[in-house]
Amino acid sequence: MSNSMRSPLSWSLFVSLLLALGACASAGPPRTGEEPDESTAGYPYTRNQLRDAFKVGTLISLRIEEGRKVHFEDQEVIAADKSGCTIATRVVTDKGEVVEDKGSETHTWQELQAMASHPLEETVISEGTLKSFIGEIETWLYVHTTHDADGRPMQSYHHYAKTLPGPPVLETVTVDGKMVKRISMVGRR
């Protein structure tokens, strides 16, 4: 993976993309029928879509920014069957060299799907195009608005690629309008 893929997106580009996506508001993806109840916003993917996308060997590379700290993680599917998959996570350098092995976790497809669960009353879904580290992608943007433990307004922005079932290609969390965390997908194979 090249170093240019691991460099940050410009903040002004990010804000411009958010505004453009907000202008394209829609009902978002159709309900999968797998949501636990009507109080949950529609899941972006079905369990079958996740199963088909998470074959053994699938590797998702992430750039994680928290405050001024930046680190990278690789998440690799090391086992998969009709009930779920096992994902190994490693902290890596910007060149992909392993710094720390965080072990592996096994999840059912339902558990993976539920990771994209957002309360309907606190979530606005729109769609648009996102220019990301992995290219220009059609996405559903889930904006979840709530409060942190101190009562400050908090928003999380989850950009789910329409053609890449799995974690968001970009996820940003703001508190009082200031970005506190950004997770960018910088590679997927």
Hey, what amino acid is at 181? K
Matching CATH number, 3-188, of 2.40.360, 2.30.30, 3.30.1360, 1.10.3470: 2.40.360
Q: Give pTM, 2 decimals.
A: 0.81
With cut-offs at 50, 70 and 90, classify the pLDDT of residue 67.
confident
pLDDT one-digit tens code per residue, 79-125: 999 999 999 999 998 888 899 999 999 999 999 999 998 998 999 99
With cut-offs at 50, 70 and 90, classify the pLDDT of residue 71.
very high
Kindly list the domain boundaries of the chain, sorted by start residue. Answer: 3-188
CA atoms within 13 A on the CB side of 187: 20
The number of helix segments (H) and strand segments (E) in the chain equals 3, 9
Percentage, residues of the chain above pLDDT 90: 69
Contact of 77 with 85, CB cutoff 8 Å: yes
pLDDT one-digit tens code per residue, 163-172: 999 999 999 9
Percentage, residues of the chain above pLDDT 70: 84
pLDDT at residue 41, as a whole number = 86
Among 184, 189, 187, residue whose Cα is nearest residue 13:
184
Would the CA dihedral through 10, 175, 166, 97 be positive or negative? positive
Residues 6+ apart with CB under 8 A from 149: none
Strand stretches in 34-152, DSSP E: 59-66, 69-80, 84-92, 98-108, 123-132, 135-147
Among 146, 168, 151, 150, residue whose Cα is nearest residue 159:
168
